[in-house]
Amino acid sequence: MIELRNLEKRYDNPLTGLPFYAVKDLSLAFPSGEITALLGPSGCGKTTTLRMINRLIEPTAGQILVEGENAQSLKPEALRRRIGYVIQQIGLFPHLTVAQNVATVPDLLGQPKARTRERVRELLGLVGLEPGQFETKRPSELSGGQQQRVGVARALAADPPVLLMDEPFGALDPLARDKLQEAFREIQHNLKKTIVMVTHDIDEALKLGDKVALLNAGELAQFGTPDDLVRRPVSEFVRQFLGEDALLRQLAGVRAGALARAGDGSGLPQVSASLNARSALSVMLRERAEAVAVTGEDGQISGVLSFHDLERT
């Protein structure tokens, strides 16, 4: 678990001497084993907050506790080696092979080479890259999506309990982003890391975040589950930022199969279980139906999704 206590980052304007607060009096607890999305408009302090957690930026006031330990009392390098870090521009080392990139932190920690090599192969497999094929390649030989997979593998290499991600999927095209988000959700389902993910993409925050922390001008606007933000916005800012179609955005991140219930779907319009719930809703509206039948990969009806089920998101 990561806990922020009255965190503050103040910059003083050198000309006027006036203070500017990038982050102001921020108290927040990122729950263990869950993804918390740090969401907000640009300049709201979300990246600054993230970078203060592994002390790439030093706070001007307040405290950060990582796994109960005061981050300020640790050596920055030691702290960072215990925290996985993935950034938007990917930041792979272009002069090293994929395997060497992934092995960065284990090597810094001085772990035995043979074990690291084993670990690298395991991680590449985990992120969906065939080790034999990719180990010896250079980052420049990979597509953007493959590079970011390597970036995730590298962050996980030393098995850190905590992962910080700064717009990890921001530079990818929509198709690659979707695929990688799916793969990432799958990985996290098994690993249960404590993840803080900065994003300005509302869809991504609602789709991947177990919790969402919405920041505005350096202060916390709302912290809660995606449901809380979508259905129970605490302020006008939250409502406006998410937009009136927030519910639809949320539905877009859920599979129809995940909401369907057992039932007799004969005679209803059919949708594939892998379709997202927003599209299923669109089908209901188009077909003027109160429910649709959800079909599995084999084409057989596996359940029924009714209009009321959509409210259970």
Partner 1 sequence: MNSRPLAGAVGEHLSPALSSAARFSPDLQLVLWLGAAPMLAACWLPWVLLRPNRLAAGEFLRLPPLDIGLGLLAALATALAGRFLPRAVPLLASFALSLGAWWLGSRSGAAVQGQAEFARASVSSGVWLWLLGAAMTVYGAGLVGRRLGGAQPYLAWLWLPAVVLMALIGHFASWSVVAEYRVQHDRFFQELGRHLYLILVALGLATLIGAPLAVWASRNARVSGVVLGVAGGVQTVPSLALLGLLIAPLSALANAVPALRAVGVSGIGVAPALTAMTLYALLPVLRNGVVALRGVLPGVLDAARGMGMTDNQRFWRVQLPLALPVWLSGIRQAAVMLVGVASVAQLIGAGGLGYFIFSGLQSGAADLILLGALPAALLAIVLDILLRGLETLLGRRLGRA
Q: Which residues bind partner 1 (CB under 8 A)?
A: 54, 56, 76-82, 85, 87-96, 104-105, 108, 138-143, 146, 154, 164
Long-range contacts of 6-11 (CB under 8 A, 24+ apart): 6/61, 6/62, 6/63, 7/49, 7/52, 7/59, 7/61, 7/62, 7/63, 7/64, 8/59, 8/60, 8/61, 8/62, 9/45, 9/48, 9/52, 9/57, 9/59, 9/60, 9/218, 10/60, 10/61
- Least gap, CB of 286 to partner 1 (angstroms): 34
Cβ of residue 214: shortest distance to partner 1, in angstroms?
24
CA distance linking residue 179 with residue 195, whole number of Å: 19
Concatenating the DSSP letter of every residue in 272-298 gives ETTSBHHHHHHHHHHHT-SEEEEE-TT
Residues 6+ apart with CB under 8 A from 245: none
Nearer to partner 1, 175 or 285 (CB): 175
Q: How far is the CB of 142 from partner 1 (least distance, A)?
A: 7
Shortest distance (Å) from residue 199 CB to partner 1: 17
> In the complex with partner 1, which residue's Cβ is closer, 151 or 303?
151
Nearer to partner 1, 173 or 264 (CB): 173
**Measured from the CB atom, is 146 or 276 closer to partner 1?**
146
Q: Which is nearer to partner 1, 167 or 204 (CB)?
A: 167
Contact by Cβ (8 Å): 213, 223:
yes
Which of 223, 225, 201, 204 shows the shortest CA–CA distance to 214?
Answer: 223
Q: Is the C-alpha dihedral spanning 218, 161, 192, 133 positive or negative?
A: positive
d(CA 169, CA 150) in angstroms, rounded, equals 12
Closer of 96 and 217 to partner 1 (Cβ):
96
Residue number, 80 or 207, with CB nearest to partner 1: 80
Q: Least distance (Å) from partner 1 to the CB of residue 126?
A: 19
Min CB(240)–partner 1 separation in Å = 32
The smaller minimum CB distance to partner 1, of residues 150 and 273, is found at 150
Rounded to the nearest whole angstrom, what is the least distance from the CB of residue 25 to partner 1 in the complex?
A: 26
CA distances from 153 to 105, 113, 115 (A): 11, 17, 15
Pair type for strands 270-272 and 219-224: unpaired
Q: Shortest gap between Cβ of 269 and partner 1 (angstroms)?
A: 35
